Amino acid sequence: MEKIKLIGKPVIAGNASGVALVSREPLSFWGGYDWKSGEITDRRHPLSGENAKGKVLVVPFTRGSSTTTAVLLEAIREGTAPVAIITTATDFFFALASVVAGELYEKSFPLIALSESDFDLLKTGDQIEITKDGELIIEQRN
C-alpha cells in the first residue's frame, strides 16, 4: 500500500483514524442516514446501504438543512456516527454537530476541509489517520 500525506484545514481539530467511506455526492442526513445503525439510507445516494459507523466519512458537503446536525447528534449519542468527516469546504452543519456533541456528550469529532484536488485522491477503503493539526496520513488501497 502506498502512503500519502495531505494537509487540510481543521475546521474542528482532533485526532481520529479509520477506513474511508467516500462519495463525490453530498449527503442529506435527514432521511438519508439511520442514526440507530449508521447506515446510509438515501436510496438515490451512491453510498446507499453502506454503514458509516466508525469510519471516516468523506463527502463534499451536506445536502439539506440544520436537521443534519440533529440526526448526526443522535448518531453520536448512540455511537453510530463516523469517527471523522472530511469535506471540500467548511460545512457549518457538521461543525455545529461536533461542537454540540463535545459539550453534551464529550464526544466531538474532527472535521477537515480539503482542497478539491486533494479530496479527489481519496477512495473508499483507504485507511486514514487524522492529526489535530489537519494532517492526513493515508494508506491507499490498491
DSSP letter string, 74-108: HHHHHT-S-SEEEESS--HHHHHHHHHHHHHHS--
Give the C-alpha distances (Å, rounded to integers) separating 93 from 1, 6, 68, 79, 101: 34, 24, 6, 19, 12
> Active site includes 37?
no
Q: How far is CA 27 from the centre of its chain?
A: 10
Q: State the DSSP H helix or E strand holding residue 69, giving kind and residue range, or none if neither.
A: helix 67-78
Q: Which of 37, 65, 66, 115 is catalytic?
A: 65
Sheet of 56-58, strands arranged across? 2-7, 135-140, 127-130, 16-22, 56-58, 84-87, 111-113, 9-12
**Residues classed as catalytic:** 65
